[in-house]
């Protein structure tokens, strides 16, 4: 799978949260390691996780050295949770 396919998958993941997370954006995220998807996530309804944090939490293996694909730049400010940039 190439980068375009990975990004297309994040878009499909984001669609899972459409209509459930407003006013927050529907976001999808993937963690890829050695060319394979090791985890996926998408924005959950409040007080749920952002897509990036969801993908990190869903990982069943070490994410060190993996690449994050995401439909939106991770936030770097404190909300009700730790900024996603710190989790990454």
Name the residues annotated as catalytic: 52
User: Is the Cβ–Cβ distance between 56 and 36 less than 8 Å?
Assistant: no
Short-list 14, 24, 4, CA closest to 54: 14
Tokens describing residue 20: 């459930």
């Amino acid at each position: 799978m190439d980068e375009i396919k990975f990004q297309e998958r994040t878009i499909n993941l984001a669609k899972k949260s459409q209509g459930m997370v407003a006013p927050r954006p529907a976001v999808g995220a993937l963690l890829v390691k050695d060319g394979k998807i090791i985890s996926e996530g998408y924005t959950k309804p409040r007080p749920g996780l952002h897509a990036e944090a969801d993908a990190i939490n869903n990982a069943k293996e070490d994410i060190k050295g993996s690449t994050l694909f995401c439909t939106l730049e991770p936030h770097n400010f404190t909300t009700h949770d730790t900024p996603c940039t710190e989790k990454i």
